[in-house]
Amino acid sequence: MLGRVLFIANGARGSAAATRAERIAAALQPADTLILLRNGASRRSAAGLVRRARAFDADLVYCVDLAVVPLAVALLSHPRTSMIVDTGDHPSAYFRQIRAPRWKQWTARVMEELAYRQSAGMVVRGPHHEAVLRGHGVTNIRLVPDGVDLAAVQAVPDPSLRSTLGLADVFTIGIAGRFTWHEAMGGGLGSEVVQTLARIRDLPVHAVLIGEGPGLAHLRLLAVELGVSDRLHILGPVPYTDYGRYVSLIDVALITQTNDPSSWVRTTGKLPGYLALGRYILASAVGTAVGVLPDEMLVPYHGAWDPGYPDRLAERIRDLVAHPARLQAGAALTALAEPFSYDTISQQAAAFIREILDRATP
């Protein structure tokens, strides 16, 4: 009988972390599992998670995301229990990149070292992250990429929806994700989209943003400032069941990661979703996208913040508008989505859990 496995996910129900935990737990059946979700950052909420975790006599604790809440709950509730930390981020590098206060950078570094030393194994989402961890002396690492539900995420062209949103006769670029903003850097996810629109205002190109986040208010203001607010369509979050229908509104899906250590370790959940939907992708030549996408879909990005990137992006989009038949190359990307299928990655993670449980059994 497989041991009892406690999952602690750094997100609420419906979040990427929660979904990942749920799919991996399902792959472990008939094991006895419990999934705890972070629904807030307050001490009271964390204390409640610790109490619930202690009440579950776990043989292994699986933390989804390298973050304070799941790691603290795991170590406080089961200090002597085998632990796996599943992460797609390098927090200290990220905080350095966005110029966060030094105390945040230091806290993240301490948290990382604690995870590296206390875990029985680490799960990473991309090959570059594996190399980083080996440089920190971590040896038991399993590569399990971000996932996508291939049965649920399918392209659904909807001319009626496109017409309703004023997109019937235009070329669209866009992003589906969480929109952040970093004052110290003067931008965030989506700012390159707005700036690109301003560089191709002579073309019938509109931008579609799907998702939520604090950066959206800044993007609206930037669009007004640059005179392209009439071309920016912010649709907000959509249910996962409608993800394919709404992302199908986007002719060219964008993935922009800065060229720095924190971005090279990331896969981003955007990539599997765009692949599954057969979208034509333009991605900065950073991270996992470099090993997955054809060269024609990669755009050079220089340094931790590249003010010239919107110019290069605009050139690529201008060329695609002039030669729309090239968008058909996106359809071939669906064949690249299989390694990211939740059915595949959940079995990979489940196998790693079994290995560690078997090793811990006397």
Q: E-assigned strands of 26-110?
A: 33-37, 60-64, 82-87
pLDDT of residue 236: 96
How far is the C-alpha of 95 from the C-alpha of 118, rounded, in Å? 22
Assess whether the region 5-147+341-360 and the region 159-338 belong to the same CATH fold: yes
- CB within 8 Å of 48: residues ≥ 6 apart: none
pLDDT in tens, 147-176: 999 999 999 999 999 999 999 999 999 999
Is the CB of residue 207 less than 8 Å from the CB of residue 174? Answer: yes
pLDDT of residue 362: 62
pLDDT in tens, 198-230: 999 999 999 999 999 999 999 999 999 999 999
Is the CB of residue 243 less than 8 Å from the CB of residue 176? Answer: yes
pLDDT of residue 41: 66
Whether the ω angle into residue 30 lies within 30 degrees of 0, i.e. cis, is yes
How far is the C-alpha of 244 from the C-alpha of 239, rounded, in Å? 10
How far is the C-alpha of 28 from the C-alpha of 122, rounded, in Å? 18
Residue with tokens 């196998």: 351
CATH annotation of 5-147+341-360: 3.40.50.2000
How far is the C-alpha of 344 from the C-alpha of 342, rounded, in Å? 5
Would you list the domain boundaries of the chain?
A: 5-147+341-360, 159-338
Residue with tokens 């800065």: 258
Q: What is the mean pLDDT of residues 335-354?
A: 97
- CB within 8 Å of 218: residues ≥ 6 apart: 181, 188, 191
- The verdict on domain 159-338 having CATH code 3.40.50.2000 is yes
> Helix/strand/coil (H, E, C) string of 138-172?
CCCEEECCCCECCCCCCCCCCHHHHHHCCCCCCEE
pTM of the model: 0.93
Neighbours of 201 (CB within 10 A): 11
How far is the C-alpha of 49 from the C-alpha of 236, rounded, in Å? 30
The angle formed by the CA atoms of residues 41, 345 and 246, to the nearest 5 degrees, is 70
pLDDT of residue 265: 87
How far is the C-alpha of 184 from the C-alpha of 99, rounded, in Å? 7
Computed over its alpha carbons, how large is the radius of gyration of the chain? 21
pLDDT in tens, 300-339: 999 999 999 999 999 999 999 999 999 999 999 999 999 9
